[in-house]
Structure 1
Amino acid sequence: MKRILSSLIIAVTGISSVMAGVDYTLNEHGALIKSGGVDIAVEWYTPSVVRIQRFPASTHPEKQSFSVTAAPEKVDFKIKADDDALTLSSEELTLRYEPAADRMVFLRADGSRLLEEKSGSSRFVRIDDHGKPSYRVAQTFVLDADEPVFGLGQHRHGLWNQRNSTQHLRQENMEIAIPMVQSPKGYALFWDNYSPTDFTDNAGGMTFDSRVGDMIDYYFIYGATSDGVIARWRGLTGHAPMYPLWSFGFSQSRERYRSQDELVDVVKRYRSLGVPLDGIVQDWQYWGEDHHYWNAVEFLNPLFPDPKRMMDEVHALNAHAVISIWPSFGPSTSIFKKLEAEGKLMGHMTFPQDFGTRVYNPFDSRARDIYWGYIKDNMVKIGMDGWWLDATEPEHSPIKEEDYDYETGSGTFRRLCNAFPLVSVGGVYDSHRRDYSAKRVFILTRSAFAGQQRYGAQSWSGDIEASWTTLRRQIPAALNFSLCGIPYWNSDIGGFYTRGDYPDNPLANPDYRKLYTRWMQFAAFTGMMRSHGTNCPREIFNFGSPGDEIFDAQAKAIRMRYRFIPYIYSTAWEVTSAGASLMRPLYADYGADRRSTGVDDQFLFGRSVLVAPVVTPQDGRKVYLPAGNEWIDFWTGRRHKGASRIVADAPVDIIPLYIKAGSIIPVGPDVQYASEKPWDDLVIRIYPGADAEYTLYEDEGDNYNYEKGSYSLIRFKWNDADRTLTVADREGSYKGMLKKRRFMVSVVDETNGHGLGGDIADGVIKYNGRCVTHTFKD
């Protein structure tokens, strides 16, 4: 009878049993396991996503997750006991709890091991959290000896693989802390804790050690592939909305424009030079230079006498403006006084120090409403187009231990500090959507936390310094950030500070001029192409005039970005609708090629474009082309075999780009701003060598009607053997849609269809929304 009972599959909730020496209770979403003095809650969210909580016996504390927005689903799972373990299995994932070792093991449905807790490694150390009993909590996991892990947010150290490292995860300028790792084995682990956390990987295992928590709380996400992991992660924490079309163009910024006339004149200069531009960014001190009025969220500076007129002039030039807003306020500002009167200001010192500047409490809904109210009344109503939410870590210096005692209303700041950017940015997004749903939210933020993709925000890498080493490190920083599920990232082109390697007149320094140009080429293949910095102005006209080598190389990089906008926008739809990523590590698509996993200075942009930025002063670099495809040089049409290392020649106006054979890429028109011309004569480049499919996405460009189905999809299919391109029936429609159009098709080879122009059409397809097929001659 014992043997029979130990193999029974129990599927009835609410039953307490002791099997294989394990005392457990089934419930609707999983089980509660009692293991000595610790209880373990297993909660299925989907068949491939499970939450594990460990807490001192019989306490089962309540917890609000700021990152996870999904609720557990009704998952069919089976539970089984044998002599050594209790096993819980869904159709995609198996959990095996071994009571003798006190460890949870995660396995694929076929029984192969993914990850396991280290035996007896859960730790609870009693602490006092400002008068409330709590714990310092830690858990160690066992990885395969040669298994890399990626993620942890975005950091300036330059690490790609996070193995054999120790890192303190706390939000600060240039350091985005996200306690999440992803493995090429097809899973991710999210440590759901918002206090400062130490990540350590060594011979003893991979450990997350958080300063305060009532429980150990983590999510295991299995997706089989990197895309599968991120899609399931977005299902758990929220999907990324579409950005406005204009935001994918080029944006110019500086620390800072000193008057509204200067800002408008910069846009006029770009238009007169014929260099494309969509965004202009106003940095700080539009409120004035007296720090007591810091971040008033009002135009108090007399050099900005009529901000409404400024915005009207920018819009008349077919550009958009974004403005810097901080979460901290000087004591003479109206917003400070209102927040202080209602007890909504935190206590710690913040930038600029010694002026009484204070940070608001975004964990409080009333504080978020006050913050948004000033943005709405003083910025939205004059026509401002986007929000640069700076210093969302928030700035905190010098740090005092008692600063963490501040009670936010949801717990101490010690308990919640790493979630500050998530709730602050989220408050602006949610309020904007509520009050102005017809216009897409665009937010640029210096910090982030897990789940922030749902708030229409992209992060940048903070106040980095200009150097070739820094540029090189931006690539793994971006990719690790992307693998945390947040798809849009960028950096200050040329580095924010130039004072380190280029202390004197960097614009006259040939090395800096080249570095800036290479950085601009890299930025053309990030979430936002944005020039910004201090110590010297960064507008293109400060680098020369048309005909000068560096000026022309920069203008070429900007135009290249615009030619790729139809491809970028369609990829953005894949990000929104299918949980995809824009910047992708090579292993995401070429996991079978083990060498691709270690490549940390190249990336895929979408699924078809391999980008190999030049990150040294040399005019060339080595490039690895993954196995499984041929690769076609974007600039020459020359074909290369996969699984090969090549040396790419790269004069200063060229960034090495390779297109996967079996790709279809739409090339947009030469424009001065993203929406200048309709896409009625798109060039469709076919990169032959394998069958290909591609979906062109189009919508109204700057509203949320796409969420109601107002968009169109045009699917292209290339049969390589027959050299036939089929354009399927258009799916969907939207206001202003082109009902008739032409597609100029180029089948790429070494004589045609490469670089930024000069395509000779191999065929012209007239398209009215109905399926059409065209066959091309060899």
Structure 2
Amino acid sequence: MPSKNLSDDVTQLYNHISLISSKSACVDFSFVETDYALRVEAHAPGVFRLRVLAVDKLNNEKLSTRAKVHQEMLLVREEAVSEMELATLPDDVGWSLAQGETTLLLYRSPFKAVLQRNEQVIWQSQPSVLTRLDDSAWQWTTLLHEDDALYGLGDTQQELDRRGESLSSTGLARLPLLWSTRGWGLYVNTFSPVTHDLGHQHAELYVAQVHDAKLDLFLFFGEPSEIINQYSALTGRAGQSGLAPMGLWLEAQAHQNAEQINAVVAELEEQGVCLDVLDLGVRDAYVFQADKPLLEWDAERLAHPKAFAERRFELQLAAAGRPIVLADTALFEEWEDRAWLLINDEDGCAYQHPGDEYTQGRPFGLLDLTHKDVMRMWTERQRQMFDEGVAYAYCDANFQIADEVTGRGGETGDLLRAIYPILARQALFEAYAGHKTPQEGLVISSNLFPSAQRFAWQQGPRVENTWDGLERSLKSALAVGNSGVPVQVHRLGNALADTSTMTAELYLRWLASAVFSANFAFQSAPGLLPSAFDADTRALINHWLQWRFRLVPYVLGIIEDAVRTGLSVQRSMAQAFPHDEQARLWDTQYLLGPALLVAPVLHSGIQTKVYLPAGEAWWDMRTGWRYEGGTVLDVEVGLDSIPVFGREGHMLCLGPQAQHISEFNSARLLDEVWMFGMPEHNPVVMRNKIRVMQMQGSSYIKGLEGLKILPSEGLEVKRRGAEVRISRAR
């Protein structure tokens, strides 16, 4: 959306504030000579909420039922839960609003805002920060410090630092959270389009244009991990994904039928690759019957999920079904009469979307998921597919909904396009996970939208089968993690691209990187399966798959932590080490959870470089050697290895060797513990309570009964019943 030119008279209207009233959690100001007010809330520790609204709405802000529903899609916590202390600044130039060590300064005239922590400025607006572009658009301008590196706002396969870019929230890969390495973050709470100029037009300014009748901003302060924690607590977090989906996945191609897919699965089993989940891909696996509101399987492709039942190990199914009904059917006519389909305002009839490859070009209508009865029906039908054997649902719902299309509650245009993917994914999540306590399950999707972080299992992009494609896939996962989405899984290549460029060396490097991630999926294309390579390469593939299973307890532990913190599985250097400017330059390295630094090899050859972040000590998992941070290492890495360094003070809990996730013993998930220096932190591990206590220079650990312990050099282990003592070797 293009930027608008500002006139001086509009700018001056919002240039002077006056105090109206104050409470412990809320302070109201008026914009002098206007009908608008500024409400500032201490929304949570580390969070200020700033809202611009009409003065007559301050004590009478009533939302319609539909507006409340929309707000719940954006926020899970509407009320302010913190407090602040109001004081007048010297010479009556403004006010300070303090939350602990952090203070928001609001200057009277010209109006501007400054955020301080321990009296150090970490964020400030431009004087005359607020301008109104028209009746339904606002502009907020922030001054950028030379040290501001900006992250978030959704997917990118290029530079993770977004400074210098101009982005619109209407893009399909956009998310609303922005943060800076200087310790501030910003979230614009709206479904309306937002344009972010991140120093593109003026290097020293970040300009947000919000095309909404009201302005609602959340200002965060703290480390990136603290900002993401507060953001996800505010907007919602994902449920647990469970053990089963942590195994090996195969993504089938759209044209493959059950017989062809079964042949691929059997071939993989012969090579020692035992799949846990079969993903049928984005093609609709089931559709509504022509004359009944019942879902039926695509007979040409698989007929029924039991077509994959005869396997050595259980093979769970992930399948896609879109909320559509074909236009040339009796069911379409019935639901059009009942107003259960999205409507074309121009003629009052159900809107017919052009056909696509999955409907063989036949036009279709979209279920009106804004209608509660339709939403309930679609959720119930999905629950029936779960009962029939579909373990995980696939959901991409970024339909090109035209401006003239309207939903039941009057939603149209940008609003309808924004909320429709949320409703579609919410229905699937309720069907597949919402009935469980805790809500354990996942819905797979590759499209992004506000609230995407509430649903586990984001799927990575399709990229070229090249070294550049590998790097793009990695950066996409790190960018999404910077934006508050905890899990993005990788495709091991792209079946829709040229597979002849996938060499054995590239394949192994890609696999090694994917093993040290949330998870990945093999691609069911001849050039991207292990059978495409020689025996030595296949042996190395099995080597990496063994590592994958051993890492499952740790990776799932990270995902379980995300339920509480919102932090991602793969964490960029900027997110993990915001004050290390050198680390930010190494933007293809990442932390896997809190304990492991991973530096994938993204080029041909065995020589590579690794940067170890300053202020920490790091243990090479291949050699056991210890290195001080702040250094660059030249390392030699064979195809059976990847540069991984343990963070001092942490532990890595590994599972047993396995071929299939069903081989995990729920009573004994762990097999071995690696220690990186003297343990100081409780380890991240699935469903286990291992506690570390330090006393008199030693660490005492409970929960390691029966496990093999590999201490770092210079440490010794003593077992005393259920307790393990780690101390310096004498």
TM-score range (shorter-chain normalised) is 0.7 to 0.9
- Shift of residue 587, structure 1, vs aligned partner: 3.8
Aligned CA distance change for structure 1 residues 367 and 99 (closer, same or farther; 3 Å): farther
| Maintained 8 Å contact 2:458/2:489 | yes
SS at match of 2:448: coil
Aligned amino acid, residue 725 of structure 2: T
Deviations 1:83-113 (A, max 9, x none): 21132223353222223122232233x3322
Aligned CA distance change for structure 1 residues 776 and 99 (closer, same or farther; 3 Å): closer
| Structure 2 gap segments, 5+ residues each | 1-15, 343-350
Partner of 2:5: none
Partner of 2:711: 747
Aligned CA distance change for structure 1 residues 444 and 271 (closer, same or farther; 3 Å): same
Q: What is the 5 A alignment of 1:511-526?
A: 511-526=502-517
| Residue number among 111, 122, 131 corresponding to 1:114 in the alignment | 122
| Maintained 8 Å contact 2:561/2:567 | yes
In the alignment, structure 1 residue 489 sits paired with structure 2 residue 493: no
In the alignment, structure 1 residue 181 sits paired with structure 2 residue 181: no
- Farther-moved stretch of structure 1 (437-446 vs 64-73): 437-446
| Maintained 8 Å contact 2:621/2:645 | yes
| Maintained 8 Å contact 1:47/1:92 | no
Aligned CA distance change for structure 1 residues 539 and 21 (closer, same or farther; 3 Å): closer
Partner of 2:388: 382
Partner of 1:283: 281
| Matches of 1:483 and 1:450, distance apart in 2 | 14
Give the alignment's TM-score, normalised by structure 1. 0.80
| Residue number among 21, 26, 30 corresponding to 1:25 in the alignment | 21
In the alignment, structure 1 residue 325 sits paired with structure 2 residue 315: no
| Matches of 1:744 and 1:776, distance apart in 2 | 19
- Shift of residue 191, structure 1, vs aligned partner: 1.1
Partner of 1:713: 689
Aligned amino acid, residue 189 of structure 1: L
| Maintained 8 Å contact 1:195/1:416 | no
Aligned amino acid, residue 445 of structure 1: S
| Maintained 8 Å contact 2:41/2:80 | no
Aligned amino acid, residue 185 of structure 2: A
Aligned CA distance change for structure 1 residues 159 and 406 (closer, same or farther; 3 Å): farther
| Maintained 8 Å contact 1:248/1:529 | no
Partner of 1:169: 169
- Shift of residue 416, structure 1, vs aligned partner: 4.7
- Shift of residue 328, structure 1, vs aligned partner: 4.1
| Matches of 1:523 and 1:450, distance apart in 2 | 26
Deviations 1:162-189 (A, max 9, x none): 11111222243xxx21122112223321
Partner of 1:191: 188
Q: What is the 5 A alignment of 1:217-236?
A: 217-222=216-221, 224-236=222-234
SS at match of 1:122: strand
Aligned amino acid, residue 232 of structure 2: R
Deviations 1:430-458 (A, max 9, x none): 34445455872211111233433333x22
Deviations 1:574-603 (A, max 9, x none): 222344332112244434433113321110
- Shift of residue 355, structure 1, vs aligned partner: 2.6
Q: What is the 5 A alignment of 1:91-130?
A: 91-108=100-117, 110-126=118-134
Aligned amino acid, residue 531 of structure 1: F
| Maintained 8 Å contact 1:743/1:765 | no
| Matches of 1:335 and 1:726, distance apart in 2 | 66
Partner of 1:757: none
| Matches of 1:135 and 1:43, distance apart in 2 | 23
- Shift of residue 230, structure 1, vs aligned partner: 1.8
| Maintained 8 Å contact 2:197/2:207 | yes
- Shift of residue 643, structure 1, vs aligned partner: 0.9
Aligned CA distance change for structure 1 residues 263 and 495 (closer, same or farther; 3 Å): closer
| Matches of 1:143 and 1:667, distance apart in 2 | 44
Question: Identity of aligned pairs, percent?
Answer: 17
- Shift of residue 715, structure 1, vs aligned partner: 2.1
Q: What is the 5 A alignment of 1:621-700?
A: 621-678=608-665, 680=668, 682-695=670-683, 697-699=685-687
| Maintained 8 Å contact 1:494/1:515 | no
| Maintained 8 Å contact 2:326/2:363 | yes
SS at match of 2:690: strand
Aligned CA distance change for structure 1 residues 472 and 774 (closer, same or farther; 3 Å): closer
Q: What is the 5 A alignment of 1:502-513?
A: 502=498, 506-507=499-500, 509=501, 511-513=502-504
Aligned CA distance change for structure 1 residues 584 and 743 (closer, same or farther; 3 Å): same
- Farther-moved stretch of structure 1 (85-94 vs 595-604): 85-94
| Matches of 1:714 and 1:271, distance apart in 2 | 36
Aligned CA distance change for structure 1 residues 693 and 247 (closer, same or farther; 3 Å): same
Aligned amino acid, residue 151 of structure 1: G
| Maintained 8 Å contact 1:292/1:356 | no
- Shift of residue 659, structure 1, vs aligned partner: 1.6
Q: What is the 5 A alignment of 1:199-278?
A: 199-202=196-199, 203=202, 205-210=205-210, 212-222=211-221, 224-256=222-254, 258-278=256-276
| Maintained 8 Å contact 1:680/1:743 | no
Partner of 1:568: 555
- Shift of residue 285, structure 1, vs aligned partner: 4.8
| Maintained 8 Å contact 1:23/1:33 | yes
Partner of 2:700: 726
- Shift of residue 718, structure 1, vs aligned partner: 7.9
| Matches of 1:277 and 1:24, distance apart in 2 | 64
| Matches of 2:421 and 2:167, distance apart in 1 | 20
Deviations 1:57-84 (A, max 9, x none): 5456745422211132353322223321
Deviations 1:9-47 (A, max 9, x none): xxxxxxxxxxx9614233574122111323212122223
Give the alignment's TM-score, normalised by structure 2. 0.85
| Maintained 8 Å contact 2:93/2:107 | yes
Aligned residues: 686
Aligned CA distance change for structure 1 residues 424 and 50 (closer, same or farther; 3 Å): farther
SS at match of 1:614: coil
Aligned CA distance change for structure 1 residues 334 and 686 (closer, same or farther; 3 Å): farther
| Residue number among 583, 588, 604 corresponding to 1:601 in the alignment | 588
Aligned amino acid, residue 317 of structure 1: F
| Maintained 8 Å contact 2:44/2:82 | yes
| Matches of 1:515 and 1:302, distance apart in 2 | 35
| Matches of 1:350 and 1:762, distance apart in 2 | 69
- Shift of residue 290, structure 1, vs aligned partner: 13
| Maintained 8 Å contact 2:289/2:296 | no
SS at match of 1:120: strand
Deviations 1:171-216 (A, max 9, x none): 43xxx21122112223321111223332112225112223x31211
SS at match of 1:694: coil
